[in-house]
């Protein structure tokens, strides 16, 4: 049996493989992911099947790589065993800042 926590862990692992082509740090460690919500599929017969809802942002509202990042995310997320749909909503509140990056990301980018 697959539970929501396992799916969330797999989602995070997968998000760590998605990169902005201009920044050598993954989108998860960059702090671009604001929310991950794993929900049961609507049909009761779809036990162990989940939908994933993600709120994310970009480092800039006019990010030239936005379409590339969103497509890469979607393909990778729906490839996870147990994930039926991946719904990504781009939000700009709160506005992204460097403070949202993980310590490792700050170190990799020379901010520490």
What's the pLDDT score for residue 2?
Answer: 82
DSSP code, position 95: P
Query: Which residues are CB-contacts of 69 (< 8 A; sequence separation ≥ 6)?
Result: 18, 20, 27, 58, 63
Q: Among candidates 45, 33, 46, 43, which has minimal Cα distance to 76?
A: 33
Residue found by looking up tokens 């700009």 in the block = 92
What's the pLDDT score for residue 65?
Answer: 93
Query: Which residues are CB-contacts of 66 (< 8 A; sequence separation ≥ 6)?
Result: 58, 90
Which segments of the chain have a pLDDT < 70? 42-46
CA atoms within 13 A on the CB side of 98: 8
DSSP code, position 88: E
CA distance linking residue 50 with residue 63, whole number of Å: 30
Q: pLDDT (tens digit, 9 = 90+) per residue, 54-67? A: 999 999 889 999 99
């Amino acid at each position: 049996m697959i539970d929501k926590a396992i799916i969330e862990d797999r989602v995070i692992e997968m998000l760590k493989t998605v990169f902005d082509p201009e920044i050598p740090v993954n989108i998860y460690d960059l702090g671009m992911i604001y929310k991950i919500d794993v929900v049961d599929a609507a049909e009761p017969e779809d036990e162990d099947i989940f939908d994933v809802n993600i709120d994310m942002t970009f480092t800039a509202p006019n990010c030239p790589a936005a379409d590339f990042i969103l497509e890469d995310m979607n393909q990778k997320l729906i490839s996870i065993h147990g994930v039926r749909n991946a719904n990504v909503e781009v939000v700009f509140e709160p506005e992204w800042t460097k403070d949202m990056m993980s310590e490792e990301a700050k170190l990799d980018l020379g901010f520490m």
